Chain A
Amino acid sequence: MRRLDPFHAVAAACTLLVVAFIVVPLVEMIRQPTAADLKASILDADVRRAIWLSISTSGSAALISFIFGTPFAYLLARRDFPGKRLVESIVDLPIMIPHPVIGIAILSLAGRQHWIGRLAADLGVRVMGSVTGIVIVLTFVGLPFYINTVKNGIEAIPQRLENVSRSLGATAFGTFWRVTFPLAWRSVVVGMILCTARAVSEFGAVVIVAYHPMIAPVMIYERFTAYGLRYSQPVAVWLIGVCLVLFFLLRWLNPPAGRTRA
Chain B
Amino acid sequence: MIRVENLSVRLPGFALDGVSFRVAPGEFFTILGPTGAGKTLILESIAGMVPIDGGRIRIDGRDVTELPPERRGIGIVYQDHALFPHLSVSRNIRYGLRYRAKAAEGDDRLQHLVERLGLKPLLNRGVSHLSGGERQRVALARALVVAPKILLLDEPLSALDPNFREEIRDLLKSLHRETGITVLMVTHDFAEAHFLAARTAVIIAGRIEQVGSVAEVFNRPVSPAVAAFVGMKNIFEARFEGDTARTGPLTMALARSVPPGSRFVAVRPEDVQLDADAPGAANNHFAGQVTRLDHQGVFCEVRVSCEGMVWQTIVPTGRLMQQGLSEGDTVRLHVPPGKIHVM
Q: CA–CA, A161 to B86, complex, Å?
A: 11
How would residues 143 to 157 of chain B score, 1 for a CB under 8 Å from any chain A CB and 0 otherwise? 100101000000000
Cβ of A158 within 8 Å of any chain B Cβ, yes or no, is yes
Main secondary structure of the interface of A (DSSP, over half): helix
Q: Is the CB of B68 within 8 A of A164?
A: no
Q: Is the CB of A168 within 8 A of B99?
A: yes
How would residues 68 to 83 of chain B score, 1 for a CB under 8 Å from any chain A CB and 0 otherwise? 1110101110101010
Chain B residues with CB under 8 Å of A182's CB are 86
Cβ of B142 within 8 Å of any chain A Cβ, yes or no, is yes
Chain A residues with CB under 8 Å of B142's CB are 164, 168
Cβ of A166 within 8 Å of any chain B Cβ, yes or no, is yes
Q: Is the CB of A262 within 8 A of B128?
A: yes
Chain B residues with CB under 8 Å of A95's CB are none
Chain A residues with CB under 8 Å of B95's CB are 165, 168, 170, 178
Q: Is the CB of B85 within 8 A of A166?
A: no
Cβ of B236 within 8 Å of any chain A Cβ, yes or no, is no
Task: Count B interface residues, CB 8 Å.
Answer: 29
Cβ of A25 within 8 Å of any chain B Cβ, yes or no, is no
Q: CA–CA, A182 to B85, complex, Å?
A: 10
- Distance from A147 Cβ to chain B, minimum over Cβ atoms (Å): 23
- Distance from B125 Cβ to chain A, minimum over Cβ atoms (Å): 12
Given contacts A166-B68, A170-B99, A172-B68, contact A160 B80 (CB under 8 A): yes
Chain B residues with CB under 8 Å of A178's CB are 95
- Distance from A258 Cβ to chain B, minimum over Cβ atoms (Å): 15
Given contacts A160-B82, A183-B85, A262-B128, contact A167 B76 (CB under 8 A): yes
- Distance from A2 Cβ to chain B, minimum over Cβ atoms (Å): 37
Q: CA–CA, A253 to B28, complex, Å?
A: 47
Chain A residues with CB under 8 Å of B245's CB are none
Cβ of A82 within 8 Å of any chain B Cβ, yes or no, is no
Cβ of B96 within 8 Å of any chain A Cβ, yes or no, is yes
Q: CA–CA, A168 to B148, complex, Å?
A: 8
Q: Is the CB of B70 within 8 A of A161?
A: no
Interface residues of A in 143-191 (CB under 8 A from B): 158, 160-161, 163-172, 174, 178-179, 182-183
Q: Is the CB of B86 within 8 A of A164?
A: no
Cβ of B52 within 8 Å of any chain A Cβ, yes or no, is no
Given contacts A168-B96, A169-B100, A170-B70, contact A163 B84 (CB under 8 A): no
Cβ of B44 within 8 Å of any chain A Cβ, yes or no, is yes
Q: Is the CB of B82 within 8 A of A171?
A: no
Contacts between the two chains (Cβ within 8 Å), count: 69
Chain A residues with CB under 8 Å of B68's CB are 166, 171-172
Q: CA–CA, A158 to B74, complex, Å?
A: 20
Chain B residues with CB under 8 Å of A164's CB are 76, 78, 82, 84, 142-143
Q: Is the CB of B146 within 8 A of A168?
A: yes
Q: Is the CB of A179 within 8 A of B80?
A: no
- Distance from B42 Cβ to chain A, minimum over Cβ atoms (Å): 14
Interface residues of A in 3-51 (CB under 8 A from B): none
- Distance from B75 Cβ to chain A, minimum over Cβ atoms (Å): 6
Q: Is the CB of A169 within 8 A of B82?
A: no
Question: Closest residue to A172 on the B side, CB-wise?
Answer: B68
- Distance from B303 Cβ to chain A, minimum over Cβ atoms (Å): 41
Question: Closest residue to A160 on the B side, CB-wise?
Answer: B82
Chain B residues with CB under 8 Å of A163's CB are 44, 47, 49, 69, 76, 82
Chain A residues with CB under 8 Å of B129's CB are 262
Q: Is the CB of A169 within 8 A of B96?
A: yes
Q: Is the CB of A167 within 8 A of B74?
A: yes
Q: CA–CA, A183 to B84, complex, Å?
A: 9
Chain A residues with CB under 8 Å of B76's CB are 163-164, 167
Given contacts A160-B82, A183-B86, contact A169 B47 (CB under 8 A): no
Question: Closest residue to B49 on the A side, CB-wise?
Answer: A163
Q: CA–CA, A172 to B48, complex, Å?
A: 12
Chain A residues with CB under 8 Å of B44's CB are 163
The 5 closest A-B pairs by CB, nearest first: A169-B99, A168-B96, A166-B69, A160-B82, A163-B49
Known: A161-B84, A167-B143, A170-B99. 11 other contacts (CB 8 A): A163-B69, A167-B47, A168-B70, A168-B96, A168-B99, A168-B143, A168-B146, A169-B96, A170-B70, A172-B68, A262-B128
A-B contact pairs, 26 of them (CB 8 A): A158-B80, A158-B82, A160-B80, A160-B82, A161-B84, A161-B85, A163-B47, A163-B49, A163-B76, A164-B142, A166-B48, A167-B47, A167-B69, A167-B70, A167-B75, A167-B143, A168-B95, A168-B96, A168-B142, A168-B143, A169-B99, A170-B70, A170-B96, A172-B68, A178-B95, A262-B128
